[in-house]
Amino acid sequence: MTFGFRGWDIHIGTPHPFNDRAPEIDNGTARPDPSRFYDPAFKAAEWERMWTKTWLLAAVAADLREPGDFVRFDIMTESFIIVRDTDNKLKAHYNVCPHRGSRIALSEFGTVDQFACPFHSWKFALDGKNVKVTDAETFDPEVLCHGTDMTSVRCESVAGLVFISMDPDAPPLKDWLGPVADHIELYDPATMNVIHHKRSEWAANWKGGVDAFYELYHLHSVHPQTQCVMDDRTQIDVYPNGMSRQFVPFAQPSPRFPDQETVNPGIQMMLADAGIDPATFEGTAKDSRAAIQAAKRKRAAEYGLDYDRFSDTQLSDSTIYGIFPNVQIGCHPEALFIHRFLPHPTDPERFTYDNIILFRHLDAPGYRAWMGLSEDVDTTGLIRPDVVHVPLGVAPELGEVLDQDSELLPIVQQGAHSRGFKGPLWSYQEGRLRHFHAELDRYLGDAV
Ligand SMILES: [Fe+2]
């Protein structure tokens, strides 16, 4: 089968290996039962067969630079501590005291010499080994022989992204990520800093979040304001293990948009971000994207940045990567946008949406804040901003586009219950969704 969408040529500029298409994977044409979006039994099967078996993005290396730096990662009813040990290696432990089961780390990130349980102040080294049992002499030694250390899990890092797995038999992280690992490594996210982190609650199944972020098909309807600055029918690549990517060409109107000539205010902003004065720009909207690519190459040379490793498309566009099961990362030479979708511990019709921006600080005059970041965002990376929490029913205030998604997803969720809906009918434009659900189904097997 030939996927028609993959013939859409979105590239302006010279050929580059990065732009090469991945070999095709045929995920068939079936439609899954919509109960996967609300059935507690499906949710339970996901936990037993998928979440506890796969790799999970738990932290970014930017938050774990020095020994003692730790991040708490919660998923469903579990909580983990990811920490850089004194040997400079990353470790991960269940965030639970072996004494009475209390949570140990209560803050979302921080720096410690050792961990202390808040209940009876048992102490643990960064590697999870017990270093103090309070009043140890009051325990029968055979009680303590059951084990007093924290329980550790697999923890591996690739491209500044830190993953854990509860499965001791999971393949090495880099093998599992496949080509996606090398692609993201190009952006060197380990040298970026977290400059924004917001965690909001949405009234939908976590897969509804993934599905909405994995396709551009809905832009014309939900985000019509993007049509003047963004192509929306673009190359999709799917990789083994549920991974995928898509190109999101910026500064290029969608073919659906009637005016392909005018350098509209949205394109003007993108030109300005690249250091081009829109007032003196003489091209049309058709020329803007190539002009931005050229301007960024020129500016990179001035600032001593190695942009030779990037294709033209990488300079101007967002390249978005889907990392199975619950992450999408929008990659730019200047920054990474991380979207993470976390299931609610008990309610299949709620998820937590983590929105994290990693930014490369550049101490250069005239290098302006980027991609619509407001002027008051501190981009120096000197202070790690707190996680901002937004409860259910409150607009996340993540910008116009994401707020539009947050309003729509509960509406889609409601429809999943209808006796008149038999399951999603995915187009080629939604090929990444089909690929993601096919991988999920492989994990679940005959459980559902
Ligand atoms: Fe959207």
Of 139, 169, 199, the domain-final residue = 169
Identify whether residues 216 and 329 lie together within a single domain: yes
Banded model confidence at residue 9, pLDDT cuts 50, 70, 90: low
pLDDT given at position 11: 57
Identify whether residues 245 and 121 lie together within a single domain: no
String of b and e for 100-132 (b: at least 16 CB within 10 Å)?
A: eeebbbeebbeebeebbbeeeebbbbbbbebee
The reply to whether 268 falls in a domain is no
User: How remote is the CA of residue 70 from the centroid of ligand 1, in Å?
Assistant: 32
User: How remote is the CA of residue 420 from the centroid of ligand 1, in Å?
Assistant: 24
Count of structural domains, the chain: 2
User: How remote is the CA of residue 403 from the centroid of ligand 1, in Å?
Assistant: 9
Identify whether residues 149 and 197 lie together within a single domain: no
CA nearest to 403, candidates 358, 355, 350: 355
State how far the Cα of 53 lies from the Cα of 445, in Å rounded to an integer. 13
User: How remote is the CA of residue 410 from the centroid of ligand 1, in Å?
Assistant: 13
320's CB contacts (< 8 A; 6+ apart) are 213, 245, 246, 247, 248, 328, 329, 330, 331
Identify whether residues 163 and 188 lie together within a single domain: no
User: How remote is the CA of residue 243 from the centroid of ligand 1, in Å?
Assistant: 20
Banded model confidence at residue 2, pLDDT cuts 50, 70, 90: very low
User: How remote is the CA of residue 153 from the centroid of ligand 1, in Å?
Assistant: 35
51's CB contacts (< 8 A; 6+ apart) are 75, 76, 166, 325, 343
Of 144, 169, 194, the domain-final residue = 169
User: How remote is the CA of residue 400 from the centroid of ligand 1, in Å?
Assistant: 10
The reply to whether 302 falls in a domain is no
Domain that residue 213 falls in: 1-10+24-54+179-249+317-448
User: How remote is the CA of residue 442 from the centroid of ligand 1, in Å?
Assistant: 27
User: How remote is the CA of residue 336 from the centroid of ligand 1, in Å?
Assistant: 18
pLDDT single digits (tens) 183-200: 999 999 999 999 999 999
User: How remote is the CA of residue 95 from the centroid of ligand 1, in Å?
Assistant: 34
Q: CATH no. for residue 228?
A: 3.90.380.10
Identify whether residues 189 and 236 lie together within a single domain: yes
Cβ atoms of 329 and 337 closer than 8 Å: yes
User: How remote is the CA of residue 446 from the centroid of ligand 1, in Å?
Assistant: 32
State how far the Cα of 210 lies from the Cα of 241, in Å rounded to an integer. 16
Identify whether residues 79 and 35 lie together within a single domain: no
User: How remote is the CA of residue 113 from the centroid of ligand 1, in Å?
Assistant: 43
The reply to whether 208 falls in a domain is yes
Identify whether residues 343 and 387 lie together within a single domain: yes
Of 136, 169, 202, the domain-final residue = 169
SS3 helix, strand, coil % of the chain, rounded to 5? Answer: 30, 20, 50
Query: Has residue 159 got a pLDDT over 60?
Result: yes
State how far the Cα of 48 lies from the Cα of 119, in Å rounded to an integer. 29
State how far the Cα of 39 lies from the Cα of 417, in Å rounded to an integer. 10
User: How remote is the CA of residue 212 from the centroid of ligand 1, in Å?
Assistant: 6
The structure tokens 């936990």 sit at: 47
User: How remote is the CA of residue 221 from the centroid of ligand 1, in Å?
Assistant: 9
pLDDT given at position 4: 44
Cis peptide upstream of residue 141 (ω within 30 degrees of 0): no
Banded model confidence at residue 319, pLDDT cuts 50, 70, 90: very high
State how far the Cα of 123 lies from the Cα of 106, in Å rounded to an integer. 15
- What's the whole-number mean pLDDT along residues 384-402? 93
